[in-house]
Amino acid sequence: MDNEEFRKQAHKLVDWMADYLENLEDYPVRSQAKPGEILAQLPDGPPQSGEDMNRIFRDFQDIILPGMTHWQHPGFMAYFPANASPPSVLAEMLTSALAAQCMSWQTSPAATELEERMMDWLRQLTGLPEEFVGCIQDTASTATLAAVLSARERRHQFSTNHSGLSITGTHTTYASAEVHSSADKAVRIAGLGSDNLRKISVDENFAMCPGDLENAIVSDLNAGCTPTCVIATLGSTSLSAVDPLRRIGEICRKYDIWLHVDAAWAGSALVLPEFRWMIDGIELVDSLVFNPHKWLLTQFDCSAFFVRDKEALIRTFEILPEYLKTKEGDRVNNYRDWGVQLGRRFRALKLWFVIRSYGQAGLQAHLRKHIGFCQDLAEKVDRHPDFELLAPHPLALFCFRYRPAGTDEKALDSLNETLLEKINDSGRLYLTQTRIGGRYALRFVSGSPYTEQHHIDEAWSLIQNTAVKLIKR
């Protein structure tokens, strides 16, 4: 493609993008495609000769779009959101055109230094301690893996990277029963074993019980195990439970255990001073991750990973073969040594665009808006005689179920499963589910930059109307 054609196509696509965002609501929020339906429309093999861009773009519209779930749709209340505000889209367009591989300082000094500055802006915005430094990881899963690996290495004076784990005995890791599956994945990959991940019981608010944590550590020590890492959660995926950091941190200090905090979604709320209670005890924390790509208007992928002791991180990951040496050495940050990946995308640019474009006040308004939507709607759900809330809801997520008078408890799970299916088949609203104390629950999360009050009202009407039809005889 020559540059003339590139310019023409790019203008056309930008117009399409603006139309898309304007008309998001014309699309069904969750793709209505059936398994295999998209695959069947794609040729079995690659084309022999190059095809015309107009034709490729037409197929994008005809084949691909119907198979997309529209994450920016105002009716997207499923999982956690993956925000992509217009400024972050613009930045990603530039990132894509620059197409730099930002593994070390020298391979793009601006990418490294902007990342350093953006991580510090995020640190200030979220009220994290000055000692924290960090880098952008692709996902919270990767950041948690980096934390677990660093914990393991620090425990053994950074020797197990070389010696392997065979002589080190059993390492135990701790997290609440509500922890995200990425913790299980991290301890598996780190060679610590998910059988050695202790799932600590939770209290009536689904937060980790510190007393039980300490009992588990002591009993592991008595059994000759090596307690290595505790993963605390701020805002659990299932229902937004918040673990008590200070009490967990005190226990970690007492037994010299790395404390990692998974705040993947809820961490964005720290931009609001009224939610800083969640990080009471942060001075006892070794590392923390949160995803601006979930709720801070910065599109996927962008996970902010903070550590107190960057040396522990770098000593865990640094490998310096001749072909990667640069003359700047360690006078600069080489983020390839701060995690698993060597090659790195230029992710800081979108943060810069987003933070400057919204400012602290704009980011706060975005967060408060969604927390307000959820708190108001949760109250309505709670007041409705045929619905009930199933867990505390401090942020912009609440869990509920339909429970019409006279319905047998045993029938409620399947009734609510059907309700979820019907809601999602409508194409107007997309919710997901969880289980709370064995009961099937629907999750409602607000976070799309395009969601307004009337979308919340429509969602609630849709939920009620769909529910009522289920029991009409």
Ligand X SMILES: *Cc1c(COP(=O)(O)O)cnc(C)c1O
Contacts with ligand X by CB under 6 A lie at: 80, 139-141, 180, 182, 233, 236-237, 262, 264-265, 291, 303
What's the closest the beta carbon of residue 277 comes to ligand X, in angstroms? 18
d(Cα 27, Cα 463) in Å, to the nearest integer? Answer: 19
The residue (of 279 and 419) whose beta carbon lies closer to ligand X is 279
> Min. distance of Cβ 182 from ligand X in angstroms?
5
- Whichever of 209 and 304 has its CB closer to ligand X, that residue is 304
Nearest distance from residue 180's CB to ligand X, in Å? 3
Judged by beta carbon, residue 72 or residue 237, the one nearer ligand X is 237
Q: Which is nearer to ligand X, 396 or 415 (CB)?
A: 396
Tell how strand 303-307 and strand 287-290 pair up. antiparallel
Q: Are 462 and 426 in contact (CB under 8 A)?
A: yes
Contact 39, 66 (CB under 8 A): no
Q: How far is the CB of 37 from ligand X (least distance, A)?
A: 26
Q: How far is the CB of 237 from ligand X (least distance, A)?
A: 4
Cα–Cα dist 318/159, whole Å: 13
| Least Å from the CB of residue 139 to ligand X | 3
Residue 298 Cβ vs ligand X, minimum distance, rounded to whole Å? 12
Q: How far is the CB of 176 from ligand X (least distance, A)?
A: 11
| For ligand X, the closer CB: 265 or 335 | 265
Burial 437-473 (b: 16+ CB within 10 A, else e): eebbbbbbbbbbbbbeeebbeebbebbbebbeeeeee
Q: By C-beta, is 139 or 333 nearer to ligand X?
A: 139
Of 28 and 267, which CB lies nearer to ligand X in the complex structure? 267
The closest of 149, 145, 201, 191 to 169, measured between CA atoms, is 191
Q: Which is nearer to ligand X, 29 or 146 (CB)?
A: 146
Q: How far is the CB of 463 from ligand X (least distance, A)?
A: 23
- 245-254 vs 210-222: helix axis angle to the nearest 10? 20
What SS3 state is found at 35? coil
Q: How far is CA 88 from CA 271, 314, 366, in A?
A: 18, 29, 15
Q: Which is nearer to ligand X, 155 or 180 (CB)?
A: 180
Which helix (H) or strand (E) is 28 found in, with range? none
Comparison of 261 and 307: residue with beta carbon closer to ligand X: 261
Nearest 5 degrees, angle CA 171-CA 210-CA 445? 95
Tokens representing residue 332 in the block:
């600069």
HSE value, Cβ hemisphere, 13 Å, CA-based, for 84: 16
Shortest spacing between CB 43 and ligand X, in angstroms: 32
CB 70 within 8 A of CB 27: yes
Q: Are 137 and 146 in contact (CB under 8 A)?
A: yes
CA–CA separation, 219 vs 28, rounded Å?
52
> Could you tell me how many helices (H) and strands (E) the chain has, helices first?
14, 11
